[in-house]
Amino acid sequence: MASVLPAVSTRVLRHSTWDALFVALSAVHGALLLLVPSMLLVGIGLWWNANTIAHNFIHRPFFRSPALNRTYSRYLTLVLGFPQTIWRERHLAHHADRAVRVELGRDAIVELLLLAGLWAAILWVSPLGFVTVYLPGLLLGLGLCQLHGYYEHARGTTSHYGRLYNLLFFNDGYHVEHHARPVADWRELPRASRPSSMPSRWPPVLRWMEGLGLIWLERIVLRSSLLQRWVVGVHERAFRKLLAHGPAVHRVTVIGGGLFPRSAIVLRRIAPDAAIEVLDRERRHLDRARPFVDAATSLVHRAYAPDEPTDADLLVLPLGYDGDRRRIYDQPPAPAVLVHDWAWSRRGDGVVISWLLLKRLNLVRGCAPRASSSS
In the chain the domains, ranked by start, together with CATH numbers, are 19-206 (no CATH), 214-365 (3.40.50.150)
Beta strands 275-280 and 298-301: pairing type? parallel
Q: What's phi and psi for 14, nearest 5 deg? A: -80, -40
What is the C-alpha to C-alpha distance for residues 60 and 69, in angstroms, rounded to an integer? Answer: 10
Q: Quote the pLDDT of residue 8.
A: 62
Q: What is the pTM of this model?
A: 0.65
Spatial distance between the Cα atoms of 63 and 117, rounded to a whole number of angstroms: 26
Percent of the residues in the chain that have a pLDDT greater than 70, as a whole number: 91
pLDDT, position 84: 95
Q: What angle do CA 156, 161, 166 make, to 5 degrees?
A: 110
Q: What is the pLDDT of residue 373?
A: 43
Give the DSSP H or E segment for 37: none
pLDDT tens track for 1-41: 445 555 566 788 998 899 999 999 999 999 999 999 999 99
C-alpha 365/C-alpha 274 separation (Å) is 19
C-alpha to C-alpha distance for 338 and 318, rounded to whole angstroms: 9
Cα separation, 138 vs 50, whole angstroms: 12
Average pLDDT of the chain? 87
Give the three-state DSSP class for 83.
coil
Stretch 150-165: mean pLDDT, rounded? Answer: 88
If pLDDT is split at 50, 70 and 90, which confidence band does 166 have? very high
pLDDT, tens digit (0-9, with 9 covering 90-100), for 228-281: 999 999 999 999 999 987 778 899 999 986 678 899 999 999 999 999 999 988
Measured distance CA(180)–CA(59) in Å, rounded: 13
Q: What is the pLDDT of residue 375?
A: 37
| Predicted pLDDT of residue 50 | 97
Dihedral angle, C-alpha 214, 217, 223, 226, nearest 10 °? -120
- Beta-carbon contacts of residue 52 (< 8 Å; ≥ 6 apart): 22, 25, 169, 170, 172
Q: Give yes or no for a contact between 137 and 150, defined as CB atoms under 8 angstroms apart.
A: no
